[in-house]
Amino acid sequence: MLNTYKHTGKLTLDSGEHLENVEIAYHTYGKLNSDRSNVVWICHALTANSDVADWWSGMTGKEKCFDPEKHFIVSANILGSCYGTTGPLSEDKNGKKYYRKFPDVTIRDMVKAHILLREHLGIDKIKILTGGSIGSFQALEWAIIEPDIIENLILIAGGAMSTPWTTGLNEAQRMAIRADKTFFDDYDRGGLEGMKAARAMALLSYRNAKAYNKTQPITEEDDYKNLKAITYQQYQGEKLAKRFNAYSYYTITKAFDSHHPGRGRGGLDKALQKIKAKTLIVGIDSDILFPQEDQHLLNKKIPGSELNWISSDFGHDGFLLEFEQLTNIINKFLKS
C-alpha cells in the first residue's frame, strides 16, 4: 500500500541547507507483529521506487524471501526522486518547483529521511535492513548512524563508498544531460533527451560485454543501422523518459557520488567498526560497476561480516534477476 508521511518542520541537510515539510512516499506490506520484531526495510536503487513488490517481485511476496505473511515490509522513496518524496519537481516555500535549484542531498540525508519515517511508524528495531546498489549505500549508512536499531544487515551489489570509477560514470551521464539545452529551461520534461543518453551509458555498466553479446547478438543478415544493441539502447532511454525526470536523475547521481562513510567520522575504518548488525555482503562475480574488490573491502572492514557471491552473466543487474541464488544465500545467512 502506498502512503505519504508529511513531516512538519525542517530537515537539515549535510550541506547546511534545509528542506521544510518534507513528504516521504512509502509502501508497506504485511503487518507489524505484537512485539514489533518482524520489520524488513528495503532500500531501493537509483530510478526505482518504494513499490518493491513490483520491481523486486522475485524477492518480495507470498512464500518468497521477504514474505508479507511473516514480515512487515517497508520501503521508502528516496529524497530527490520523483515518486512522491520531496524532490526537484516539488514546490519550494514560494510555491515554485525547484528543478535545478533543488539542494544537493547526500546518502546520509536520504537516511535521515528514512529515520523520520521509522520514528513516525513507531519502529524501534529493524530485523532485516537491505538494499542493492545505491540501496546498499543507504543501508550501510543507516547501520552506522543507528547501530542499535539494525539486527541483520544485507548489502547487495554495492561497496563501502563511491569510487573514482563510479563517479566518472556518473559525471559522464550528467554531461549528457547538460548537453541537452532544455535541461536549463526548468520545466518538467526538460533534459529528457540528455537523460535518455545517460541511461544508455548507465546500462553498459549495469551489464557487461558478455551480457550484451549474449542478449543482443549480431547475425550476417542484420541491418547494421538497426542492430539489436542499437535499438535496445534507444528503447531503454525512451522507457526511462516515460517514468522519470532529468532533474531527479541528476540529483540522485550526485548523491551517489557523495557517499563516503568515513567523512567526518575519522575515516572509513572507524566508521565501519560502528556497525553492530550481523552483516551479509553479497557480490556478483561479473559486476563491473561494483567489482569484487569493493565487496572484499566491506568484508575486511565490517566486524564479523560474511561474504557470498552470486554467479551471473548479467553483471550488476544480477541482483534484480538472480532471485533463486539470492534467496538461498539470504536464507542460509538468516538461519546460521
User: Catalytic residue numbers?
Assistant: 133, 287, 316
Q: Would you state the cell numbers that stand for residue 281, as one nine-digit string?
A: 555482503
Cα distance between residue 112 and residue 118, in whole Å: 10
Whether residue 290 contacts residue 157, with contact meaning beta carbons closer than 8 Å, is answered with yes
Identity (one letter) of the amino acid at 183? Answer: F
User: CA dihedral in degrees (211, 165, 285, 55; nearest 10)?
Assistant: -70
- How far is Cα of residue 191 from the mean position of the Cα atoms in its chain? 22
- How far is Cα of residue 49 from the mean position of the Cα atoms in its chain? 9
Cα distance between residue 57 and residue 170, in whole Å: 27
User: Considering only CA atoms, which of 89, 75, 101, 107 is closest in space to residue 5?
Assistant: 75
Residue 275, sorted as left (phi over 0), alpha (psi -120 to 50) or beta, turns out to be: beta
In the block, cell 512464500 appears at 63
Measured CA distances, 192 to 20, 102, 187, 233, 251 (Å): 28, 17, 10, 15, 14
Cα distance between residue 327 and residue 64, in whole Å: 8
Measured CA distances, 327 to 42, 66, 73, 156 (Å): 14, 9, 16, 12
Q: Residue 116 class from Cβ within 10 Å (0-12 exposed, 13-18 middle, 19+ buried)? A: middle
